[in-house]
Amino acid sequence: MTIAVGDRLPDVKLLKATAEGPEQVQAADYFAGKTVALFAVPGAFTPTCSAKHLPGFVEKAEELKAKGVDEIVATSVNDAFVMGAWKQSAGSDDITMLADGNGEFAKETGLDADFTGFGMGHRSQRYSMLVEDGVVKQLNVEAPGDFSVSSAEHMLGQM
């Protein structure tokens, strides 16, 4: 079953990529008490993710924060070291990288995807969501191969 607007995020462990190395966080605690613009990508360093998705949230970070977003979070089924390197290479301090290395968050939200045909294994679908105090307020899931409704621009238009 896919997560929907009004549902609470699954309480799984994620790894936050930090300059000091991976830091384990519990989703329920991490998302509690704040408004988060969360976006997920099939893979760090993949073409659309690196050329459009992450840069869009970097570019629109101040506008999102001006609309009440406390934090912008990117997640992917990659390890925390890859997510940290992706942030260093293309991100900004405005984006928090949460690694879903085992795909548990993707599976529990029902937003996982099978990319084995591309040699990438099981990953996350491309989506964005606005989360308030751990509850989904907006959910924008892309059709396979598309990039439009999960963009920072689309999210801003919804706010």
At 91 the pLDDT is 67
At 44 the pLDDT is 86
At 115 the pLDDT is 76
Alpha helices in 100-149 (DSSP H): 104-109
Q: Which residues are catalytic?
A: 49
At 116 the pLDDT is 79
Nearest to 131 by CA among 68, 42, 45: 68
Distance CA 102, CA 121 (A): 11
Which superfamily does 13-158 belong to? Answer: Glutaredoxin (3.40.30.10)
- The per-residue b/e assignment along 107-146, b for 16 or more CB within 10 angstroms, e otherwise, is bbbebbbebeeeeeeebbbbbbbbbbebebebbbbbeeee
| pLDDT tens over the chain, length 159 residues | 799 999 999 999 999 999 888 999 999 999 999 999 999 998 888 777 677 889 999 999 999 999 999 999 999 999 999 999 989 887 688 999 999 999 999 999 999 987 777 767 687 999 999 999 999 999 999 988 889 999 999 999 999
